[in-house]
Amino acid sequence: METPMPWILGLSPSFSVPVAAVLGLVLGSFYTACIHRYVAELSLIRPLRSFCPHCGTSLAWYDNLPLLSYLLLRGRCRHCKRPIGLRYPAVEFLSLAWAVALVLKFGLSLPWLIYMVFGGLFIVGSFIDFELYILPNRITLGGAVLALAVQAFFGWAALKGALVGAMAGGGFFWVLQQGYRIVRREEGLGTGDVKLMLCIGALVGVGGLPMTILAAAVSALAASVVYMRHPDGSGVRTRIPFGPFLCLGAMLHILAGNEVLAWYFSLYR
């Protein structure tokens, strides 16, 4: 899936970025609904229309334009005037950035479509993990099954590589989890992270795991300085979700993994 494939619908590169950007924004708006409704334990389809999480008022179409409505309303609900959480524009912007970054590398091709799907799973799962310290099985295990199915579409060799990657990623993190539990007699790594690595390993293969894990570790270490402080300034939090950083590492590998490896090995020539 690393090789760009022919352009879909005959669109040239000059049109691909705007198309990807619009689709990324639309999907980002959908992702915000998925995250909010999962966290709030609400149905994804009832009510069908988006609504203000504070006053419950259904939103008109012009108040539900990704990013634009947030800016026009200055981050507040038109009806109750209460602030709209930064999570909404953040998710929409990340979805936009992901769609554009992928199209710049792959074009509007089958790999672009595949990675868009998994990027959506990673974005939704990450923000749920930030909120609840939970990675839903429908994202982790469901993503693993989907990744294996996608790889099977490309043939037995791809499926075999995905199976090895899933076992390597999930197995390595399971060993880490059990080792920490034995040594420290407490939970240090969530089972959701182990399941997530099944999905990531199947998607990126064994070769993609080192950069994924390294990027996750470095970004988590950098973010922990800020994240572990309590919002009210009362001290530090002792827990930090690792799932979002594993997702970030996988996404960075998809975008630049081969280039980074090529650069690294060039240093030893």
Domain ranges of the chain: 13-107, 109-269
Structural tokens at position 207? 């070769």
Output the average pLDDT for the chain: 89
Task: Give the Cα separation of 191 and 170 in Å (integer).
Answer: 10
Q: What is the pLDDT of residue 5?
A: 45
What 212-221 contacts at long range (C-beta under 8 Å, 24+ apart), as own/partner pairs, is: 212/246, 212/249, 212/250, 212/252, 212/253, 212/257, 213/246, 213/249, 214/249, 215/245, 215/248, 215/249, 215/252, 215/253, 216/242, 216/245, 216/246, 216/248, 216/249, 217/245, 219/245, 219/248, 219/249, 220/245
State the average pLDDT over residues 170-189: 91
Q: What is the pLDDT of residue 67?
A: 94
Q: What is the pLDDT of residue 198?
A: 98
Name the pLDDT band for 6 (thresholds 50, 70, 90): very low
Name the pLDDT band for 234 (thresholds 50, 70, 90): low
Of the listed ranges 53-62, 88-97, 246-255, the one predicted with least confidence: 53-62
Q: What is the pLDDT of residue 12?
A: 65
Tokens 């579409």, residue?
Answer: 153
Query: Above 90 in pLDDT, residue 175?
Result: yes
State the average pLDDT over residues 159-166: 98
- What is this structure's pTM? 0.91
108: Cα separation from own chain's centroid: 20
Q: Which of 263, 203, 222, 248 is closest to 97 using CA atoms?
A: 248
Q: Which of 166, 163, 161, 159 is closest to 140 using CA atoms?
A: 166
Of the listed ranges 50-54, 84-88, 119-123, the one predicted with least confidence: 50-54
Q: Tell me: the pLDDT tens digits for 189-216?
A: 899 999 999 999 999 999 999 999 999 9
Q: Tell me: the pLDDT tens digits for 72-84?
A: 888 899 889 899 8
Name the pLDDT band for 87 (thresholds 50, 70, 90): very high
State the average pLDDT over residues 38-67: 86
Q: What is the pLDDT of residue 266?
A: 82
Structural tokens at position 5? 């494939």
Tokens 């990013």, residue?
Answer: 67
Q: Name the 3-class secondary structure at 183.
A: helix
Q: What is the pLDDT of residue 49?
A: 80
Q: What is the pLDDT of residue 103?
A: 95
